[in-house]
Amino acid sequence: MADAVIPRSRAYARAERRRRLGPLSVLTHVTLVVWTILVAVPIVWTFLASVKSEDEIFGDAWSLPASLRFDNWARAWEQAHVGQYMINSIVVVAGGTFGTMLFGSMAAYVLARYRFRGNRAVYLLFVSGLAFPVYLALTPLFFVVQNMGAIPVIGPFIGLNTHGGLILVYIAYSLPFTVFFLAAFFRTLPGAVAEAAFVDGASHTRVFFRIMLPMAKPGIISVTIFNVLGQWNQYQLPLVLLTSDKEKWVLTQGIADISTAAGYDADWSALFAALSMAILPMLIVYTLFQSQIQKGLTAGALK
């Protein structure tokens, strides 16, 4: 019907026909399905291996488990300490992200909306941190944290092999991106509401926490997601700062250690169970909040 009504050029009709008949659309779906398989299969395979017996794991990789051995999961949680590692990760990321967002938004707000001598210099100091490779700082950072441990009273909470020390380092290394992103966000907010509040006698601090911070909520959510994932997945910094004390390790360290240090008498089925335990929470959280997470992670690149 529509074809008969709308007059079209011959070239357009030709292009349309080519598109409909051409192999492109079939090929399109094939490539998309192939990549979907490439992404999904290693993960599904890991979940399957996590309920296999030791013999089945060393047998044919594509065989299905004869029975579902969930005791692998129990062993990974208890004996391989995955439960402990996960709790440690939660503690460090909760503290790290909360501190990053509090201090990052405070600094970003002041730098974005107050004029004072040195504003530009402080802003550039923060943003320059985006360009430095962290590996350059590792050695001195190790000794900075070690020296922190020697401070009286608070030292034992922020030195090497402490979660407090790692949290402070996470905050400091998350500040460049957080300040960069939130300062840009605070600059775009209208000032009328804040001015009205100042006229009513509100203090600067009150205006920030009660008015500006709630107005910046979309930006805050994006950066929070970015920081939670970044800190949860961090491996290099805990490797340097939580060396000796296995009890304090975070999840990434624990998983990497099970595979490298275990050797020949390794508990392979527990390794797969531990791996699945590390993937499963991310899968659940990602399924629930995928559009928010995609926005949060790509936010920096789109600015």
Could you say which residues in the range 28-87 bind other proteins, by CB under 8 A? 28-29, 31-32, 35-36, 38-43, 45-46, 49, 57-62
Residues 190-209 within binding reach of other proteins (CB under 8 A): 203-205, 208
CA angle 154, 156, 157 (to 5 degrees): 70
Query: Which among 67-75, 131-139, 187-195, 212-220 is the span making contact with other proteins, rule CB under 8 A?
Result: 131-139
**Of 7, 23, 133, 263, which one interacts with other proteins (CB under 8 A)?**
133
Q: Which is nearer to other proteins, 136 or 153 (CB)?
A: 136
Residues 215-274 within binding reach of other proteins (CB under 8 A): 229, 232-236, 239-240, 251-253, 255-256, 258-260, 271-272
Q: Is 188 in the site for other proteins (CB under 8 A)?
A: no
- Please report, for residues 33, 104, 160, 206, the alpha-carbon distance to residue 169 in angstroms, rounded to integers and kept in the order given: 42, 14, 11, 28
**Of 76, 171, 182, 223, which one interacts with other proteins (CB under 8 A)?**
171
Query: Which among 66-74, 129-137, 183-191, 214-222 is the span making contact with other proteins, rule CB under 8 A?
Result: 129-137
Report the nearest approach of other proteins to the CB of residue 189 (Å).
Answer: 16
Query: Which among 79-87, 137-145, 183-191, 214-222 is the span making contact with other proteins, rule CB under 8 A?
Result: 137-145
Query: For the residues of the chain, what is the DSSP string, one character each?
Result: -HHHHS---HHHHHHHHHHHHSTHHHHHHHHHHHHHHHHHHHHHHHHHHTTS-HHHHHS-TTPPPSS--THHHHHHHHTT-HHHHHHHHHHHHHHHHHHHHHHHHHHHHHHHH---TTHHHHHHHHHHTTTS-GGGGHHHHHHHHHHHTTSTTTHHHHSTT-HHHHHHHHHHHHHHHHHHHHHHHHHHS-SHHHHHHHHTT--HHHHIIIIIHHHTHHHHHHHHHHHHHHHHT--HHHHHHS-S-GGG--HHHHHHHHHHH--TT--HHHHHHHHHHHHHHHHHHHHHHHHHHHHHHHHHHH-
Report the nearest approach of other proteins to the CB of residue 142 (Å).
Answer: 8
Q: Which is nearer to other proteins, 4 or 26 (CB)?
A: 26
**Of 76, 86, 168, 183, which one interacts with other proteins (CB under 8 A)?**
168
Task: State how far Cα 236 lies from the chain centre.
Answer: 14
Q: Is 302 in the site for other proteins (CB under 8 A)?
A: yes
Q: Which residue has the tokens 């944290």?
A: 145
Q: Encode burial over 118-156: b for 16+ CB neighbours within 10 A, e otherwise.
A: eeeeebeebbebeeeeeeeeeeebeeebeebbeeeeeee
**Of 1, 64, 135, 153, which one interacts with other proteins (CB under 8 A)?**
135
Report the nearest approach of other proteins to the CB of residue 41 (Å).
Answer: 7
Report the nearest approach of other proteins to the CB of residue 291 (Å).
Answer: 9
Report the nearest approach of other proteins to the CB of residue 247 (Å).
Answer: 19
Report the nearest approach of other proteins to the CB of residue 21 (Å).
Answer: 12
**Of 76, 81, 97, 129, which one interacts with other proteins (CB under 8 A)?**
129
Query: Which among 11-19, 65-73, 181-189, 211-219 is the span making contact with other proteins, rule CB under 8 A?
Result: 11-19
Report the nearest approach of other proteins to the CB of residue 178 (Å).
Answer: 9
